[in-house]
Amino acid sequence: MSEYSELVYLYKKGCEYNAYTKFGAHFMEIDGVAGVIFRVFAPNASCIYVVGDFNNWEATHPMQCDQGIWTCFVAGICEGTLYKYLIEDRHGNSVYKADPYGFSSELRPNTASIVADPFSYRWSDSSWMKSREQKDFVTSPINIYEVHLSSWDTVIKNKKSINLRKTGKALVEYCKSMHYTHIELLPIMEYPLDMSWGYQCTGYYSLSGRYGHPRDFQYFVNLCHKNDLGVILDWVPGHYCMDEHGLAKFDGTNLFGDEVHPHWGTYKFNFTEKTVWSFLLSNAVFWSKAYHIDGIRVDGVSSMLYLDYGRDNRFRKNAYGGEDDLYAKDFLKTFNDLMHREFPGFLTFAEEASSYQGVTAPTYLNGLGFDYKWNMGWMNDTLLYFSVDYDYRKENHHKITFSSVYARDEKFILPFSHDEVVHSKKQLLDKMPGEYWRKFACLRTLMAYQMFHPGKKLLFMGIEIAQIMEWRFYEPIEWFMLKYPIHDSFHEYVRMLNKFYLSEKALFEMDNNVLGFDWIDANNQEQSIFSFLRRSKDGEEIIIILNMSIYEYQDFRLGVSQKGKYKEVFSSNLKVYDGTGSHNETAVTSEDIAFHQRENSIRITIPPLSATAFKKI
C-alpha cells in the first residue's frame, strides 16, 4: 500500500482538514541530510519539476508521482528559498505555478513562493486563548474596526513591504484607545492585483508579500491578544483569480473549478469536488492554528448559495427544484461545524446580502451555522434614510422602524463597511444632507443609532474621523483631517460613543432577546423622532431618543414605565463634540401623567439632529 493512500482517501472525501501539514514545502531530514520536501496534488499533470533560486530555475529536480501526489526532496536549502512548480500537462504545455500550499510569497509583481515555517513563532497569548474559549460572545459587546492593512497609515510603494511590526503596534494602540473589541482585516492572503483589495487570491495559505514574513503577522496577532483585541480575517472561499501562476488550470485541468464568476471575472470553486473542500477547510484550520486568529468573515456568501447568482436568466435548479447550491450549502455547514468544534470561542461571520433563511441557525436545524450575519438590509435602509433631505424624512420613516420586524430573525452585525465608501458611493459624511455643521450633526446621530440598535457593530477605517474623500486603496487614511477641530471633535465623539457602548450592558447583552428592545414611540413621523428602550439581563434600562429633524423640541413629553428621576447619560449634541450644547443638564423627575401607553412620563429637551440616552437613577 502506498504511503499516501490514507491521505489521498481523506483528501478526495473532503475530510482532510490538516492538508497543509502534508502538502507544500516542509523542512525535514532524510538519512541525516537536512533539506525541504515539496509535495503538491496535481493528479492530471504528466511531469512536474521543483524550480527555484537554488537551481537557477532550471528543470533539474523532477518530482515523483504517487496517486496524484508529486514529491521531491531537495537537500541543503533553507528558509527564504524561492521556488515554483514547473508543471507539464498531458498535452505537452508547460507553466510555472506558485505553490497552492506555499506559506510565504514574493512581493508582487513577482510571484514565487518562499520556503517558510509558519509554526516556529513563540506565542505568549495563552491567557487570551483560554479566556476566548469561555466567553459568551452572544451576550458580550462586539465592536469591530475594519482595516485594509496596506492603506491604514501608509501605502506600499515600489517593492517595499509594510513594516508590519511597526504598523501593527500603532494599530493596536489606536484600536485600544478607541475602545474597539476586534480588528477585521480585508484579505491578507497573497493576491496579485492591488485594486482587488485581496478578494482575488492566488496564495490561500500564504501571508501576502506586502506584509513581510509570517512571523511579522504572528507578532501582530500576539500583540492584539495581549491587548484584549480579537483578530478577524476576511476569507474568500467562493472564487479565485485567473492569473496564470495561481490555481487556475493548475495541472492543465480545472482542478479547483472552471465556471466563470459573472461579477468578478474569476473562477468559482467547484464544491461538487471534495478535494476543493479539503483544500479550503484545511485553509481555515491553518490560519486558526498557525496564526491564532479569532474569527473568519466569509466573503460573498450569497454568491456561493445561489446556483445562478449574478446571472440575469436563471435556469439551473438543484435536485429538489430549488435555486440554492446544495453542495456549497453543505460546505458552509461543514466549515462552521468544524471551526466551532476545533476552536472553542471562534467566531464566523457571513456577508450574505439576500433574504436566505437560517444563516445563523444551527446546522442541526438545517441552518448554515454562522455566528453572525452582516445586516445588509439594515445598512441599506439606514443609509438611504440618512441621505434624504430633512424635510422629506417623514415619508421614509419606515426605513428606520422596519428593522425591528426582523431584528431577531438572525444574529446580526450592523456594518458600515469598506463597500459603502468606494465606487462613487461617497464617504458617510458626504452622504449626509445640508450644510457642513448639519452633516456632522447627522453623522453623529447615525453613529449613535448604530450603537444603540440591537446587533454587534462594525466600522470601516476613516469613517471615525469623518474622512471626506472616498477610501482609495492606494492612499492612507486622511489623518491630517484631525488638524481641523470639527473632525477632531468627531473623532473624540466616536471614541466616547464606543466607550459608552462597552460600559452599558443594556446595549449588548440581549441583542437577540425579545426583552432586550422595546419601542416607546415608533410612529412619530411628523417630528421624525424615534424613541425606544434597551434592556440588560438584570432589567436595567436605557432610554434612547433619536431626533432626525433639524428642529429642537423643549418640554417634550416621553412615556416611562417607572416613577423616579432620570438622568441624561449620553448626548451627541455636547459642545465638546461641536454640537450646539443644548441638552438636559440636570436630572428630570417623572410625572404621574400617562403617555406613550405608559403610566408615567418625563419632560425633556431634544436637540436637533441628535441622539440622547437616559437612565433612571
Catalytic residues: 299, 351
Cis ω for the linkage preceding 607 (within 30 of 0): no
Residue with cell 417630528: 527
Cα 480 to Cα 156, 371, 476, distances in angstroms: 19, 37, 10
**Sign of the four-CA dihedral 270, 272, 274, 277:** positive
DSSP state of 21: G
Tell me the three cell numbers of residue 276: 476543493
- Residue (of 79, 83, 73) closest to 36 by Cα position: 73
Classify 489 as helix, strand or coil: helix
Cα 538 to Cα 342, 505, 614, distances in angstroms: 33, 9, 17
What DSSP string describes 461-484? Answer: TTGGGT--SPP-TTS---GGGGGS
Strand partners, 556: 604
Task: Please state at what angle helix 214-226 crosses helix 164-177, rounded to 10 degrees.
Answer: 20
What DSSP string describes 327-368? Answer: HHHHHHHHHHHHHHHHSTT-EEEE---S--TTSSS-GGGT--
82-88 and 588-589 strand pairing: unpaired
Q: How far apart are the C-alpha atoms of 252 and 45, rounded to whole Å?
A: 7
Residue with cell 416607546: 520
Determine the length of the chain: 617
**Distance in angstroms between the alpha carbons of the first and the last residue of the chain:** 76
Which H/E stretch holds residue 29?
A: strand 24-30
Residue with cell 428602550: 533
Tell me the three cell numbers of residue 494: 466616536
* Helices and strands of the chain, counted as H and E runs: 13, 29
Tell me the three cell numbers of residue 259: 465556471
